[in-house]
Amino acid sequence: MSFRKFLFPCSLCLATLVLVFVWRESNVSDPITQYLLAIQSIQRGLHTSLSDALRAIQDDGFRASLILIMLSFIYGVFHAAGPGHGKIIISTYLLSHGSQVRRGVILSFAAAMVQGLTAIIIVCSAFWFLSLSMRQTQRIVNHGEVVSFAMITLVGLYITCTHILSVQRKGTVSNKIANSHNHDTVECDHNHGPNTKDLYKELSIRSFIGIILSIGIRPCSGAVIVLLLAFSLGHVVAGLFAVLAMSLGTAIAISLLAAFSVYFRRTAHRIVQSKHDTRHLVGVIPTILGILGGGLIFIVGLSFFISAITAPGHPFR
Amino acid sequence: MPRAWACVTAAWFLILSMVTPTVAHPHMWVDLESRVMLHNDGRSIDIYQSWLFDDFFSTAVIEDAAVHPDGKNTGIQQEIDRIVAALEPYNYFTVIKHGSKTLSSKLVGDVEWKIIQNRIQMKFSLAVDKHNGLETQHWSYAIFDPTYYIEMLHAEGATITIEGETSTKCNSWIEQPNPSSDAVALSQSTTLDNNPDETIGRLFAETVHVNC
């Protein structure tokens, strides 16, 4: 309960902060345009401030490092406040699968932190073990993007297939019970195979990890460039803390979206339950939503994967 | 109340996810400067451009160039030559329009570069091809990366100067990007195709209008 009490004021403060910045930055009419352009503009400004802060560490060590870490945190929040594939996957998963707010937040935090750690692992290995240049390292990161999209596609496929199989097994098990399992009087302690609850449990843990890894394997582009410049300028420790702060900012922003998705689903569920004519659908809806959600994750992942592998060369990549 | 607020916000995020190109984040930033030069009584037009690359990209190029056997400057020059050659098929990320017609252009003179506070600046001019009988009284140009990998913008409040004999008769203004309505229709075009008017980059591009 205390967790929820803490979550709501925090989310309200953060959202207000983002909206105030957006309102200050924008002078166009349409709210979506206003929002998108303002987010881009703020990111652009932060990008310059991040490189300035990294350069300032040379002369003003500790203070500039603190500024860098603070800016990185803000960059993380704003980076996550814009559109992104990770957010689609997490919100689709949580909207289509029943979950607690706490689990949604854990999922978001884990995905964001894995993204930060991937950036750290790639950049550290490239610099220290492989002695690659900044541009060579960036190319490796670009390949990570393709792997991430492929994994998202597989996770989507896995979720969909598991839901379809669970419907089939449920049918088979209930048929078996109806047809051949009439030893009511005998104590029955043998296993009839996994029940639906077990299947969902298994599904959620596996797909949970799948989602975290598939999103996390593609490091945040902002984290990679900050880390690369930090390594290149010799400010390794400041760079590592900056990336962790950035991941924390991203994690908080994405977990808000996760929490909202969970509330959204619960509200929809309650509405369905409260109506007499739709109440009988309550048992079927989770399965349908699960199949649709998994399918959507699969389609999104596949479209990203195809566009990533078919994209022609770029003069600057 | 929190629940209603949560629903609105979730819907907002979902709408955002759908209307916007989700894989399109700029990874590079270029500060633009441009001006128009009129020659032969306005019959020929040059667009001068200066691209100031961001610190991260510039540092990466300079770092690579530093290990070049012929020295840093040769290394940077080679990279600039490579970029210019690679940009040619994309008309140097410049789309020049007269009404609905796209005008072609070509690079004139040398591409110059220098380093300003750790950032590489690249300067070049494009000559607008007017040999198709158009009286370009009102025309426009936009400089953008079709894939939106690079965000290319003039400084806030920048003005476009027009130089040349007939320049006093001309005026110019920068139209800011307004991606709202088009974004919905074009959200899936993530490729660098031959028609930059149907790409993500176009949605976030400024348009410079020139009226003579």
ipTM (interface pTM): 0.71
Contacts of A44 in chain B (CB under 8 A): 26, 29, 151, 153
Sign for the pseudo-dihedral over CA of A260, A266, A272, A274: negative
- Report the pLDDT averaged over residues B14-41: 72
Q: Is B4 a member of any domain?
A: no
Q: Chain B residue closest to A89 (CA)?
A: B17
A111 has a pLDDT exceeding 80: yes
Asked if A232 lies within 8 A of B149 by C-beta distance, the reply is no
Q: Which two tokens stand for residue A182?
A: 């009439």
For residue B198, is pLDDT > 50?
yes
Residue B10 in domain: no
Q: Which of A205-214, A272-281, B102-111, B133-142 has the lowest mean pLDDT?
A: A272-281
Burial class (CB in 10 A: 0-12, 13-18, 19+), A121: exposed
pLDDT of residue A32: 65
Integer Cα distance of B33 and B27 in angstroms: 20
Residue B103 lies in a domain: yes
- Residue B11, domain member (yes or no): no
Residues of B in contact with A259 (CB under 8 A): 6
**Strand extents, DSSP E, chain B:** 28-39, 44-53, 94-98, 101-103, 105-116, 119-128, 138-143, 150-154, 162-163, 171-175, 207-211
Chain A with chain B: Cβ pairs closer than 8 A: 150
At residue A137, the pLDDT reads 86
Instruction: Look at residue B44 and give its three-state secondary structure.
Output: strand
Q: Do B22 and A88 touch (CB under 8 A)?
A: yes
Q: What are phi and psi of A110, to 5 degrees?
A: -65, -45
Listed in sequence order, the residues at least 6 apart from B190 whose beta carbon sits closer than 8 Å to its beta carbon are A307, A311, B21, B23, B24, B147, B200
**Neighbour count for residue B155 (Cβ, 10 Å):** 10
Question: Closest to A32 (Cβ–Cβ): which among B6, B19, B153?
Answer: B19
Q: Do A260 and B153 touch (CB under 8 A)?
A: no
| B60 found inside a domain | yes
- Give the 3-state secondary structure of residue B1: coil
Residue B12 domain-assigned (yes or no): no
Cross-chain residue pair A83–B16, CB shorter than 8 Å: yes
Give the whole-number percent of chain B exceeding pLDDT 70.
75
**C-alpha angle A35/A54/A23, rounded to 5°?**
15
Measured in angstroms, the CA of B193 and the nearest CA of chain A are apart by 8
**What contacts A68, CB < 8 A, 6 or more positions away?**
A50, A53, A54, A57, A238, A241, A242
Domain that holds residue B103: 30-211
If one counts the domains in chain B, the total is: 1
Find the mean pLDDT for residues A189-205: 53
- Confidence at B115, pLDDT banded by 50, 70, 90: very high
| B149 found inside a domain | yes
Residue of B nearest to A25 (CA): B156
Higher-scoring residue by pLDDT: A270, B184: A270
Quick one: CA dihedral A130, A135, A136, A142, positive or negative? positive
A233 to chain B nearest CA, in Å? 9
Say yes or no for a CB contact (<8 Å) between B60 and A135: yes
Per the domain annotation, does B48 fall within a domain?
yes
